[in-house]
Structure 1
Amino acid sequence: MTALLVLSASLPSMAQNVSDYRLGAGDDIRIQVFQNPDLAVETRVPDTGVISYPLIGKVNIGGLSVTAAQKAIADALQQGKFVKNPQVTITLGQIRGSQVSVLGQVNRPGRFPLENYSARPSDMLAAAGGVTPTGDDVAIVIGVRNGKEFRETIDIPGLFITMDPTKQITLQDGDTIYVNRAPVFYIYGEAQRPGPYRIERGMTIMQALAQGGGPTPRGSETRLRLTRKNAKGVVEDITPKLTDPIQSDDVIYVRESLF
């Protein structure tokens, strides 16, 4: 068994996300009891979630957190008077029972297994083939933590540019990653390449105009009209500056030159 990650019931200082991991069908685990080598067991959690353990027989650990499963085994050993004050350690091997859904603007949307307890959003986005050209720079992760709904917004480029693991969350079984369609603007009139375009971060009107190939020989970059919805949803006609930022769903009309 490779890349084993240990959490002992007697070591509360270990990473909390390991203790919170819920065991599922297909997970490979190693169970050990301190100073009782004969009680060391390597097994795989079956579909029923019930494993067979020496002395105490069948124990249902499916769906339990690592901490809760350790306690269930320790309690059974103590109640049966097999071990006095047992210190049970469960080591996670390969995780097969847990899955994360990756949806939206990715190349291969679907459900993907968590290969280990510390899987991160960058791992799952890579498994889904990455974000499509029309995908946003932001992903939303939703799930449940400590019995409460969980929602986190993630900067996708930041995951790969900084590669700082402390800036990534640890995914859990049942989490969903959703990548929305990127915001777009529209350009028409006397533009070389009219049509919709993806908005890049910090994009200005001048850069948006360049995306459309700039004005035609008949057009003028000084005679632009911008149609935009304000905060109240009312459509306004604006004469923009080239240095103004572009916003989602803006429509730029390139008018003809006066000369």
Structure 2
Amino acid sequence: MSLRLWGVLMLAAAMAGCTHYVPPAPAFHEILTEPYRYDAGDRLRVTVFEQANLTNSYLVDTSGNISMPLIGGVPAKGKTATELAAAIAAKLKNGFLRQPDVSVDVDQYRPFFIMGEVKNAGQYPYVAGMTAQTAVAISGGFTARADQSAVDITRQINGELMVGRVPGTDPIRPGDTIYVRERFF
């Protein structure tokens, strides 16, 4: 066997090792069917029925709290809409309102991030129902060097960062970071 052929075979073997596909952990996709949990950067619409001075949009700050009149900071990070509404109602019951009726909805989701082989990498507003493919489209599309077969998504699940290589049709979540890899040939 010639030295050149041997070198080509070794390069091919090395490249095959670099592109080894490991499927994402089950939790990576399971989170998509669970109730949405708030995190820093989400803007929430809190409605306290018959209390116009308390009904407003509140930003979940970097410490994971929203700050409301009368009751101050309320932990929101990691809570669902039902859990946060109950926490706000409990604080309002403690000396302010007899039977507070509270609802919480997302006014604006935290952004997603996209980088790699896209025309305009950066931070973009998340819209419910987005896929990796629509995120790429929002960022101006793929570059000529992009590997369009799959993307890598980094997602925080229960305080742990997980990375999954998924097709463009996979849904994304607020706060996800999408990385479009460069193709080899």
1:21 partnered with 2:38: yes
Partner residue, 1:109: 121
Partner residue, 1:194: none
**Aligned pairs (5 A) from 1:112-131:** 112-114=124-126, 116-131=127-142
2 CA distance for matches of 1:149 and 1:47? 20
1:150 partnered with 2:151: no
Q: For structure 2, which runs of at least 5 residues remain unmatched after alignment?
A: 1-32
2 CA distance for matches of 1:24 and 1:61? 13
| Count of aligned residue pairs for this structure pair | 148
**Aligned pairs (5 A) from 1:55-94:** 56-61=70-75, 63=77, 65-67=79-81, 68-80=83-95, 82-84=97-99, 86=100, 88-94=102-108
CA contact (8 A) 2:85 2:102 kept: yes
CA contact (8 A) 1:140 1:153 kept: yes
CA contact (8 A) 1:142 1:152 kept: yes
Higher helix share: 2
Partner residue, 2:7: none
Alignment-mate amino acid for residue 113 of structure 2: S
2 CA distance for matches of 1:65 and 1:23? 11
Query: Alpha-carbon deviation of 1:47?
Result: 5.7
1 CA distance for matches of 2:93 and 2:162? 36
CA contact (8 A) 2:132 2:172 kept: yes
2 CA distance for matches of 1:24 and 1:71? 21
Deviations 1:88-110 (A, max 9, x none): 32022233xx2222111111112
1 CA distance for matches of 2:77 and 2:145? 37
Deviations 1:224-244 (A, max 9, x none): xxxxxxxxxxxxxxxxxxxxx
* Residues 119 and 59 of structure 1: CA distance in aligned 2, closer, same or farther (over 3 Å): farther
1:51 partnered with 2:67: yes
1 CA distance for matches of 2:177 and 2:60? 24
**Which structure has more RCO (C-alpha within 8 Å, separation ≥ 6)?**
2
Question: TM-score, structure 1 length as denominator?
Answer: 0.48
* Residues 17 and 150 of structure 1: CA distance in aligned 2, closer, same or farther (over 3 Å): farther
Alignment-mate amino acid for residue 176 of structure 1: T
CA contact (8 A) 1:102 1:125 kept: yes
1 CA distance for matches of 2:101 and 2:34? 18
**Higher CA-based Rg:** 1
Deviations 1:78-124 (A, max 9, x none): 3336234x5532022233xx22221111111122232x354432232
* Residues 124 and 83 of structure 1: CA distance in aligned 2, closer, same or farther (over 3 Å): farther
CA contact (8 A) 1:31 1:88 kept: yes
CA contact (8 A) 2:40 2:60 kept: no
Deviations 1:139-158 (A, max 9, x none): 010121122322222223xx
2 CA distance for matches of 1:149 and 1:65? 18
* Identity rate, percent: 20
* Residues 147 and 130 of structure 1: CA distance in aligned 2, closer, same or farther (over 3 Å): same
Q: For structure 1, which runs of at least 5 residues remain unmatched after alignment?
A: 1-14, 160-167, 185-259
* Residues 42 and 80 of structure 1: CA distance in aligned 2, closer, same or farther (over 3 Å): same
